[in-house]
Structure 1
Amino acid sequence: MQAAEKPVPAGFSAAQIRLHWIVFVLIVLQYVLHEPMSDAWRAIRRGEDFAFDPLVAAHVFGGLLVLLLAIWRLALRARRGAPPPPDREPAILKRAAAATHFGLYALMFLMPVSGMAAWFGHIDAAAAAHSIMRVILLALVALHVAGALYHQFVLKTDVLNRMRRPG
């Protein structure tokens, strides 16, 4: 007996859309809070005393929240699915979108883990990896936004609307 195939959704659910935008805002805040975190890291590495800083705490807890919400996003995606790419989208763009999304999700996991390893475990290699991934994440976010805008204004598909209205 064959298992019934899960229907492919026409759009993202309201929860998926909310989580997408919440994670986006959290990631932006992580970049805003980067400098206080870097200052604290350098002070600790020099052996200086470090007093509690709410901006540093916000960066640490923000990273943990990104990780938890990314897990939730993947659980929703596994349970509900995601809409397919537009039919007339070129194969190369479908592959680029899949690779970009994979990279974004990977970094939503790897960056908090490397940050925690650096901060709580005092692992310099984790801090270095975190710093490199910071640049890669920024590039992938820019590519993701450019792709959405390309779909909206050049290909004239509904891709951008799928992340604005539940479907």
Structure 2
Amino acid sequence: MAIPNGYSRRQIALHWIVFVLVVLQFVLHEGISDAWDVVEDGGSVAFSPVVAGHVIGGLLVLLLVIWRLQIRATRGAPPPPKEENPALKHVAKAVHAGLYLLLILMPLSGAVAWFGGVEPAAEAHEVMRLGILALVGLHIAGALYHQFILRNNLMNRMRQAAD
């Protein structure tokens, strides 16, 4: 497989769609958290668009991330800049791997908790929520560092397609 010099339109679109969905998941968190508390106390929850939005959003994140990984496996991803510090390359790789892992585990743990009533899955889901926040923060910080400190226009790879 040839190494691409940038991301495709599809990869860029999926990146930003997943970003928006993850933001919405955090916005809708309180509604499903309140519903979970009711279920934990033995109650039942009537249909709620907020809960449904969180569940459907989680499923969409899972499906879109799997699609992104499939595209990455077949098309590849551009390499880091040649002049990149080796330590930063390792950090970037770890952050991306952690993001992909959590973007898969979060919807799975949420589904097991919600549909299976499994308390440990709900607890893991809550802990992973903090992990994904930290990794998204590192991802954004890295992009801003490249854009404004290193000034290597790395962010353009997620704005302009190379296909």
CA-atom RMSD in angstroms = 0.5
Task: Determine if the alignment matches structure 1 residue 93 to structure 2 residue 69.
Answer: no
Match among 124, 129, 138 for residue 124 of structure 2: 129
- Give me the whole-angstrom Cα distance separating, in 1, the residues matched to 2:79 and 2:92: 11
Please give the residue correspondences for 1:1-167 in structure 2 after superposition, counting only pairs within 5 Å: 6-167=1-162
Task: Give structure 1 regions of 4+ aligned residues with deviation exceeding 4 angstroms.
Answer: none
SS at match of 1:87: coil
CA shift for structure 1 position 164: 0.5
Map of 1:3 onto structure 2: none
CA shift for structure 1 position 110: 0.2
- Give me the whole-angstrom Cα distance separating, in 2, the residues matched to 1:157 and 1:59: 37
- Give me the whole-angstrom Cα distance separating, in 1, the residues matched to 2:147 and 2:64: 27
CA shift for structure 1 position 158: 2.6
Normalised by the size of structure 1, how large is the TM-score? 0.96
Q: Which runs of 5+ in 2 are unaligned?
A: none
Q: Percent identity?
A: 60
Q: In structure 1, what residue type is equivalent to 2:44?
A: D
Q: Which runs of 5+ in 1 are unaligned?
A: 1-5
Deviations 1:102-140 (A, max 9, x none): 000000100000000000010000000000000000010
Normalised by the size of structure 2, how large is the TM-score? 0.98
- Give me the whole-angstrom Cα distance separating, in 1, the residues matched to 2:73 and 2:153: 22
SS at match of 1:82: coil
Size of the aligned set, in residue pairs, is: 162
CA shift for structure 1 position 161: 0.4
